[in-house]
A and B are shown apart, each in its own frame.
Chain A
Amino acid sequence: MDENIKQSRRAFLKGGLALSAMGLAPAALASTPDNSIQWDETFEVIVVGSGLAGTCAAIRAKENGAQNTIIIEKMPVLGGTSAISGLNFSVVNSHLQQAQGISDSAEQFAEDISKAGGYQNHRHLTVKMAETTTRVLPWAIERGCRFHDKLKSLGGHSVPRTLYPVNGGGQGILRPLRAFYTDKLSGEIRRRVKFDKLHMNAQGEVIGIQVREQYFFDPNLGNDDRENTTGVVKHYRATKGVVMAVGGYSRDVEFRAMEFPNIRDYIPTTTHRGATAGALKSLVAAGAQTVHLSLMRFAFDIPTEDLQWGALVDPQSGNRFLSEKNDRQTVAEAICNIMDRNGGRFPLNIYDQDGIDNFHDKQRLHLALEEGMMVKYDSIDALAAAEGIALPGLKATLSRYNDDAQRGKDSQFGKDMAALKHVSVKRAPFYAIKARPKFNYTQGGVLINENAQVIARDTAKPIKGLYACGEATGGLFGRIRLTACSCPDAFAFGVIAGEQAAKA
């Protein structure tokens, strides 16, 4: 007998007994769904998404005995946002920390994350991630990941603990892991296979997924999840578990506009094209609990710390509108507000040579100049003309700004210019870069436990057969993610999800 028919039959009998005993049947039992599904294929573990979390989950599932594991990816390109990320990897008690005599702990790392996130995190998840990084780093290196022999000391981290991959995250981490999975473990990855929904049995357990093969993602659609009808429907059975490693939803302009009304469609994003909310919606439809959906994180083309060395002006008026020495969220939100008022024009960061000389991240600076995001000008007049800034307003702004710089105190917004070495915007040449707040990460997602199991909204208990990891989950970071922590999260909970699914 088909397993689903058997389960439905058992539920029916149980419901019948309950009815006779109590004289009333719960609605859920009274309307037992018909779950007779014609499976096209059967796997032990199905991993949805080919980014870092999904790749780790698939490797660990196979390494823990689930030989019939598959990764499906809706996009033609593998790796999701992980492939184009720096993937700076913060690790507790790494070989580099030990070599340098740096004392660290999972609790200390978790405290740094909690502090950055306004203590709005599910701390047990944070600690679990932090402690898992210790064993994941040697595991990753053994499987081909390559890191520089130095630790980065980054803002918000109480000690140096961040490794960074050789040649970036795609080349230093993700491609070696993928090669390990496909070549050493003979793992399969299917592209252009879109996850549409979860299949659940009468007990609310996940038993498989519905997908579309030969699916062609269309970046021009307003909502690809809903409007794209390409592909052939298939049903994949999962005997052990489904791991949702589907990433965030930063690029879903429609969804994010509902969550963040002031984030207009012209606000760019750093994620890959396929970072939509469709999979999240399917998880919600299956009864998953969500957390922190309405939290966003922004990044700029240059580091936030280097905004302070210049003047940030609205091109429409030439005026400044806040202290440039502010956290990224405050600056980004102010920019979104200004753009709402100026017809969607990006403000510009304006520097002179003194400001540029003080940049702390020279690598990002040179990249910005090289790629033409930042442009050099001989005069303020030339800069204003080329960038479309109102020149009279700009001149008045810089005149006041330079006077304030000399005195050491920003008379408009209180920026401590004495601490900034009285750097002004006076000495040619001048530089301009559009201040584009890029929607960079979504703290929110589905709630999981320490075993990467997805928690059900109605019961607050794990949904059997359903796991999630990486940016698809929420709660670990609190209000805003500490820098260099999405990689350890993807690594840690990707590994955990794969291990737990294989054990099921």
Chain B
Amino acid sequence: MKKLILSLLALSLTAPTLQAGELHKVMGKREGRTNHSFMYEEKDCKTCHQGAPKGPASEAACIECHGSYDEVAASSADKTPNPHDAPHWGADVPCTVCHSEHQPAKVLCNDCHQFAFPNFSK
């Protein structure tokens, strides 16, 4: 785990605007995000599926590597609108509400709005 965190940290240092990866096949029929390739290479499901491999992943793993909601919101503060700090909820929307690892992802905001988020990987 520590090795993974350190390698991701190194990766994020070289890519300050690291964005969610595109979907691509990783194991058999399963798809995953390109920026999580190193976890698939090591067959490490438990990094995200901390409870059980077949149960849904929670945000604890996201936060562990990417930072708290407030930190993520601060990192996108220059965006208008800030996808991680909407006036409706503040920085209080769990990551998996929008970001999906194994399926196409969908922005919660666009249930009602039609924002363009060019960095969002669908």
Contacts and interface: CB of A to CB of B under 8 A. Distances in A.
Interface string A245-280: 000000000000000000000000010110000000
A79 B89 contact: yes
Contacts, number: 47
Given A83-B88, A167-B87, A171-B87, A373 B93 contact: no
Interface residues of A, number: 23
B94 A170 contact: no
B87 A168 contact: yes
Contact of B89 (A78, A214, A371): A78
A230 B56 contact: yes
A78 B97 CA distance: 12
A333 to B, nearest CB: 22
B112 interface: yes
A372 B113 CA distance: 9
Main secondary structure of the interface of A (DSSP, over half): loop
A79 B87 CA distance: 12
Contact of B94 (A76, A84, A168, A214): A76
A54 to B, nearest CB: 15
A171 B90 CA distance: 8
Contacts of A372: 114
Given A77-B108, A168-B87, A371-B114, A216 B56 contact: yes
> Which residue among A77, A79, A168 has the maximum number of chain B CB atoms within 10 Å of its CB?
A77
Nearest to A273: B111
Among A84, A214, A272: residue with most chain B CB under 10 A:
A84
A373 B115 CA distance: 10
Main secondary structure of the interface of B (DSSP, over half): loop
Nearest to B87: A171
Contact of A170 (B51, B88, B96, B106): B88
Contact of B87 (A170, A230, A373): A170
A77 B115 contact: no
A426 interface: no
Contacts of B86: 170
Interface in A29-88: 76-79, 83-84
Interface in A117-171: 167-171
Contacts of A270: 112
A171 B115 contact: no
Given A77-B89, A168-B88, A84 B96 contact: no
21 contacts: A76-B93, A76-B97, A77-B89, A77-B108, A79-B88, A79-B89, A83-B88, A84-B88, A84-B112, A168-B88, A170-B87, A175-B90, A214-B51, A216-B56, A219-B106, A230-B55, A230-B56, A272-B111, A273-B108, A371-B114, A371-B115
Given A83-B89, A171-B88, A214-B55, 10 more contacts: A76-B93, A76-B97, A78-B89, A79-B88, A170-B86, A170-B88, A170-B89, A171-B87, A171-B90, A191-B94
